[in-house]
Amino acid sequence: MTLTSPGPTLGVVGGGQLGRMLAEAAAPLGVEVVVSDPTPDAPAALVARDQVVGDFDDAETVRELAERADYLTFEIELADPDLLEEVAAETDTPVHPDPETLRIIEDKLVQKRRLADAGVPVPDFCEVDSADELREALDDLGYPAMLKARKGGYDGRGNVPVESPDDVDEAFAEIVDAAQGGSPEDPSGVAMVEEMVDFKRELAVMGCLGSERWGDGGEPERDTFPVTETIHREEILRETRSPPEADEDVRERAREVALDVLDVMEGRGVYGIELFQTSDGEILLNEIAPRPHNSGHWTIEGCHTSQFEQHVRAVTGRPLGDTGRRAPTVSTNILGDVDDRQGATLSGEDAIFEAPRAHLHWYGKEEVYPLRKMGHIALVGRTDAAVDDLLADVREVRDGLTFEQ
């Protein structure tokens, strides 16, 4: 593989913070990035070569992106797999991960069924098309349980806990409102319910699928980043810690499950694999993202190769990079702490720059609203650092930040 200037162009459907960080990682590799996004001057536009303005599923937008790119990928599951497949064939532009993988993952029920059929351990689940079906399913699964939108939910939007029979009607109405597709008049096909897992902690593994050219025996090159512990509140990721508190045998089991997940996926790229460690030490799959993921942001400073560089390497057919952890690393999200939508002005950021080994990632979003992800802070320790101490330090810095005016 040779390097040229200008180099190959990677087209990314989606211009949010993931597209922004993909563009930042691509530049040193000699790869230029063009993104598409419906929001003019999207967060990625500042660092990408260019932005095509248009909806994620708009045919003209995606076709223009493909015509300008040597490779296609996506940073959001709202991309249309049928459209990606059609445009890739028309323009002879390879798209990774494969649109078939997006079809599997974009619908959480389809995702769970496919993984369960492959022997990947998952919580008990059931399709529900009405409040009455939900009530009947919970007679078997028991209370509490988690009601999920099959498509379109993220950052807690689309997950509703059902604590008792009295919550069923309201929970189902809420999930229909949050889900992609469906309506109160016809709610079929929008929801699934899952047992509430008694977990000890939540873990994540960033799985990597590369080219057959670099794998063994004609198989795709495979790897995983170190297992990470993820800390959520209100269904929103707040912090990550690597290494996790989990024992080594639990980490190894989590890695094994992640590799089993990769066996089901098609197409090159990085996959965010979210897991539960149950109270008795078992590992269950929670969800998969066919792209870099918030739980892997710590790898930018914490690993020899970041998840974003790895995704660019994989999609463009380069060998995968070293996924080893440099040192204990934690991260925390900077979330909107306001009551109403307003212009985004952060105060207290001097503390980030004053903190040794702290790294700010600002996403460039012009507006802030409650719990919106506006950026993150990574804190890298020395090789013998205690992760609990690192978490305490990064929380102190984060808690001094505010968007309140």
Mark the binding-site residues, compressed into ranges: 108, 148, 194-197, 202, 232, 286-287
For residue 8, the surrounding DSSP H or E stretch is none
The neighbour count for residue 340, using CB atoms within 10 Å, is: 8
Which two structure tokens, joined as six digits, stand for 152? 């379109």
Which two structure tokens, joined as six digits, stand for 13? 């459907």
Instruction: State the Cα–Cα distance between residues 148 and 161, nearest whole angstrom.
Output: 9
- On the CB side of 224, CA atoms within 13 Å amount to 23
Q: Where does residue 383 rank: exposed (0-12), middle (13-18), buried (19+ CB within 10 A)?
A: exposed
Give φ, ψ of 309 to 5 degrees. Answer: -60, -40
Residues in binding site for ATP? 108, 148, 194-197, 202, 232, 286-287
List alpha helices for 107-202, DSSP H. 108-117, 131-141, 168-178
Residues 6+ apart with CB under 8 A from 115: 122, 261, 264, 285, 288
DSSP for residue 330: E
Q: What angle do CA 84, 155, 401 make, to 5 degrees?
A: 125
Instruction: State the Cα–Cα distance between residues 58 and 45, nearest whole angstrom.
Output: 19
Which two structure tokens, joined as six digits, stand for 55? 């909806």
Contact assessment for residue 96 and residue 269, using Cβ atoms and an 8 Å cutoff: yes
Which residue is it, tokens 């997006």? 102
Q: Are strands 228-233 and 236-242 parallel, antiparallel or unpaired?
A: antiparallel
Residues 6+ apart with CB under 8 A from 47: 20, 23, 24, 27, 33
